[in-house]
Amino acid sequence: MIELQNLTKRFDTPSGGVEALRNVSLTINQGEIFGVIGRSGAGKSTLIRVINLLERPTEGKVIVAGRDLTALSAAELRAARRDIGMIFQHFNLLSARTVFDNVALPLELRGESRAAIRAKVEPLLELVGLSDKADRYPAQLSGGQKQRVGIARALATDPKVLLCDEATSALDPETTEQILKLIKDIRDRLNLTVVLITHEMAVVKEIADRVAVMEQGQIIEQGETFDVFTRPQHATTRSFVADLIGFDLPPALQKRLSAQPVGNSHLWRILFTGPHADEPVIAELSRNLGLDLNILHGRIDEIQGRPFGVMVVQARGDEAKLIAAKSYLASKQLTVEELEDVIAIDRAAV
Amino acid sequence: MSSQLIALLFEGLLETLVMVGVSGGIGALFGIPLGVILILTDRGGILQNLAINRVLGLIINAARSTPFIILMVAIIPFTRLVAGTSIGTAAAIVPLTIAAIPFIARLVETALREVPSGLIEAADAMGATPLQIVVKVLLPEALPGIVAGLTITFVSLIGYSAMAGAVGGGGLGDIGIRYGYQRFLPEVMLAVVLVLIVFVQGVQSAGDRLVRKLSHR
């Protein structure tokens, strides 16, 4: 649906050029919710603005629904933009217009008749649950309600793509959840392609089918949300998911770690993913192999409807038992990491 | 107060109303588009054109930095061309309008600058043309600010129109100068000043009320 090819965006500043995007290529499929995450200044804001050419890339192509937007004339681009809805962090509603008239704006711009506008706006307000607020002004609404107006407005022209620019960053967690649920609902109902940028990993985890991680104008990692969360490859990604997933031990436990294995005691981090993730593996290990397993830390969660858990255990026993235990875990398609090593790698990466 | 004085003041008030109303109206007709052009052509504007922006800015600044009394005298040939005379109420309208245009242009520019850039970005993302952005977004969103600016303009024009009285422009200022000052009639002067105060108060509070009604922020 959206194809970004070798995008580079340079901004000229008095202190020299800044590259907000550096040779970024990305394919976003029809009907998926694609998350882009990065810290501020990573280039994600520029990336989403390039998709509807609010920012024109210095180099590269932007192909939406099979058309290269960078090759269009100004009038053709305006027409193409009506296929791309956009919602914003600060909603960007017109303060002088009522809720109804805000949603009507894109239709007015297209020259629709008053009757056609009414026929379109009313069901949209119904969809976002604001039918009773049609005559209010934005200043009279809460943040979540404002964003619902923004969503209704973005959908008024029946777009194929919805761009969400930090759409929940100004909202409290509860409202964020409601808005994300609404976006997901709409995607399911209208088969929209959704691109959302955020600095909150929780948003990606909640809603995105696939995710790209950005740093310094480049995409450093991308894939299925589940895979990126459970097997982050890059140090930045790892730090993004760390809090949500519980990869890292609590500080008090970390202090007690030793760089060298102590006696027969090993620290293992077991990742519970795949078909056997919900089986009583730990219990079977200690019962069948007579292994002492001390659970130090753990978290169980669900990403994209798939169960996922992390557990850090202290395993004590002779070498043969430990090897048997590891192969048993491998047979259950669970991943085991020796913890000291992992931490050493983390240090090197930082 | 004699009925003669009341009739005199009433006539003066009407003349002032005509001078201020017409010059403010025509001033807005030219000043608002000028303010819009200033915003559109400015750096980062949707029709950025720094050459036009600088030239316009220069002309506006030049006009605004000329004291009104000098402007009035300096453009007498132009006033004659337009009004056919350089004396009287009709003639006073010409320099008042010329003074109002750049004044309004700057106030409108300031009001338009207050419109959050995100709104323009949103309209742009919806596929709005530059004209649609001006008509549907910029002007409606800035309307309370523009009305506030026009109120200031009208109040300033009332002051200017009194100056126009000094060179035979008619209106309340003219009465104040001729009767109050030149004929040593302090009670006429006082009456003129009082009427002006009430008039200005009225314009200001009407403007404020309108701004409150228009603003939904």
CB atoms within 10 A of CB A328: 17
Q: A186-190: long-range contacts at Cβ-Cβ below 8 A with a sequence spacing of 24 or more?
A: A186/A127, A186/A151, A186/A155, A186/A162, A187/A31, A187/A33, A187/A162, A190/A155
A71 CB burial (10 A radius; 0-12, 13-18, 19+): exposed
What are the beta bridge partners of residue A262? A265
Identify the H or E element spanning B96: helix B89-113
For chain B, say whether A72 makes contact (Cβ under 8 Å). Answer: no
For chain B, say whether A97 makes contact (Cβ under 8 Å). Answer: yes
Print pLDDT tens along chain A (350 aa). Answer: 999 999 999 988 888 788 899 999 999 999 999 999 998 888 999 999 999 999 999 999 999 999 999 999 999 999 999 999 999 999 999 999 999 999 999 999 999 999 999 999 999 999 999 999 999 999 999 999 999 999 999 999 999 999 999 999 999 999 999 999 999 999 999 999 999 999 988 899 889 999 999 999 999 999 999 989 888 888 888 888 877 777 777 777 776 666 655 566 778 888 888 888 878 888 888 888 888 888 888 888 888 778 888 888 888 778 888 888 888 888 888 888 877 644 433 333 33
Chain B hits for A109, Cβ within 8 Å: 123, 126-129, 132, 136
Q: Pick from A90, A109, A157: which is nearest to B136 by CB?
A: A109
How many contacts, defined by CB atoms under 8 Å, are there between A and B? 63
Cross-chain Cβ contact B216/A137 below 8 Å: yes
Cross-chain Cβ contact A109/B127 below 8 Å: yes
Nearest CA in chain A to B211: A96
- Cα distance from A247 to chain B (closest Cα, Å)? 39
Report the candidate in B172, B11, B169, B175 with the shortest Cα–Cα distance to residue B86. B169
Chain A hits for B119, Cβ within 8 Å: 92, 94
Tokens of A219: 């995409």
DSSP state of A43: S
Strands (E), chain A: 2-13, 16-28, 33-38, 59-64, 67-68, 84-88, 161-165, 193-198, 210-215, 218-224, 265-272, 292-303, 306-316, 335-338
Contact status, residue A315 vs residue A322, Cβ threshold 8 Å: yes
CB atoms within 10 A of CB A46: 23
List alpha helices for A16-162, DSSP H. 44-51, 74-81, 99-109, 114-127, 143-155
Residue B95 backbone phi and psi in degrees, to 5 = -65, -30
Contact status, residue B100 vs residue B23, Cβ threshold 8 Å: yes
Q: Which residues of B53-72 are buried (b: 16+ CB within 10 A; e: fewer)?
A: beebbeebeeeeebebeebb
**CA angle, B192 then B193 then B196, to 5°:** 85
Cross-chain Cβ contact B126/A96 below 8 Å: no
- Cα distance from A294 to chain B (closest Cα, Å)? 54
SS3 percent helix, strand, coil of chain B, rounded to 5, is: 85, 0, 15
User: Using CA of residue A57, residue A63, residue A68, residue A74, what is the dihedral sign?
Assistant: negative
pTM: 0.85
